Amino acid sequence: MAILFTENSRVVIQGITGNEGSFHCRESIKFGTKVVAGVTPGKGGTFFDDIPVYNRVIDAVEKEGANASGIYVPASFAPDAILEAIEAGIELIVCMTEGIPVIEMMKIKHALKGSNSRLIGPNCPGIATPGAGKIGFIPNFTLSKGHVGVISRSGTLTYEVLWQLTSLGIGQSTAIGIGGDPIVGTSFVDLLALFERDPQTHAIVLIGEIGGSAEEEAAEYIKYNVTKPVIAFVAGRTAPPGRRMGHAGAIIAGGRGTCQEKVKALEDAGVVVEQNPAEIGLRVKKILERK
């Protein structure tokens, strides 16, 4: 079953003829993704490999049945690309683009309310469901089919955790990078609720980082709503206050958003928090063996 990205997902790639879009489109097809169309304004009526290219997302929806979108366009065009996908009724929109201004994301969050669309990202590595396909940057070789759901604010740590799990023979139901910006389309809490209801998911790995309150909100939700084991890691233990560390959202301001605060909140909620990123996979294995 998995969540959000399933065997029924039919993907349109926005920016399919660009360097990023073309490369990751081909990689996703190798992973089994049903890419049914591409969109590049001005190139409608052409083909990318054997995939039809349209000028508008609505054309991909009406002619190819697209219900999921991968957005690989520069930050200056990404807000309009997201809004176009929302207006076309795309159910799952995944935006990998980094550098979208916060004010533009506020407009997008408003547009998402009352729509049929869910946004993953921006500034994220994407989503992958082994056996169904993927949108985004997650390397194919790190993934294997199984029963652990993975949610992460970090791109590279997502890949590292997935590879650890796969190397230990532990497959994944769905892996999702929610994005490292201050405002993202889908939160830890949103995805925890979906994984809790998913019978294919037997345990959840949550990768957080300093800044914001996403991990504390996740801890509060887990405490009262999640019955499955949750294993977490929080990056940024040694980060100095007031300095951005990688992601736009990874900054400790006013003494809040520290690693220590987040770890305490998660542990108080019954989450197993691993301190060493190299040991996350082994910690998951031990917990699954106890079940």
Residue from 24, 147, 202, 247 carrying the catalytic annotation = 247
Name the CATH superfamily housing domain 1-123.
NAD(P)-binding Rossmann-like Domain (3.40.50.720)
* Percent of residues, the chain, with pLDDT higher than 90: 87
Least confident stretch, 103-117, 122-136, 194-208, 242-256: 242-256
**CB-hemisphere CA count at 13 Å for 167?**
11
Burial class (CB within 10 angstroms; exposed 0-12, middle 13-18, buried 19+) of 246: middle
pLDDT at 256 over 60: no
Single-letter amino acid, residue 44:
G
pLDDT of the residue at 106: 97
Mean pLDDT of the 6-10 span: 97
pLDDT at 60 over 90: yes
Q: Where are the domains of the chain?
A: 1-123, 138-291
Could you read off the pLDDT of 63-78 as tens digits, one per residue? 999 999 999 999 999 9
| Other CB atoms within 10 Å distance of the CB of residue 213 | 14
Rounded to two decimals, what is the model's pTM? 0.93
Identify whether 147 is a catalytic site residue: no
140, two tokens = 């194919």
pLDDT of the residue at 243: 54
Instruction: Please name the helix (run of DSSP H) or strand (run of DSSP E) that holds residue 108, with its range, or none.
Output: helix 102-112
Alpha-carbon torsion (101, 107, 113, 114), positive or negative: negative
Q: Which residues contact 237 (CB under 8 A, 6 or more apart)?
A: 259, 260
pLDDT of the residue at 258: 87
Are domains 1-123 and 138-291 of this chain identical in fold?
Answer: yes
Given a contact cutoff of 8 angstroms between Cβ atoms, the answer to whether 197 and 1 are in contact is: no
CATH topology of domain 138-291: Rossmann fold (3.40.50)
* Percent of residues, the chain, with pLDDT higher than 70: 93
**CB-hemisphere CA count at 13 Å for 261?**
17
pLDDT of the residue at 254: 45
Supply the DSSP symbol for 44.
Answer: T
Mean pLDDT of the 234-238 span: 79
The crossing angle, in degrees rounded to 10, of helices 280-290 and 155-167 is: 50
pLDDT of the residue at 250: 46
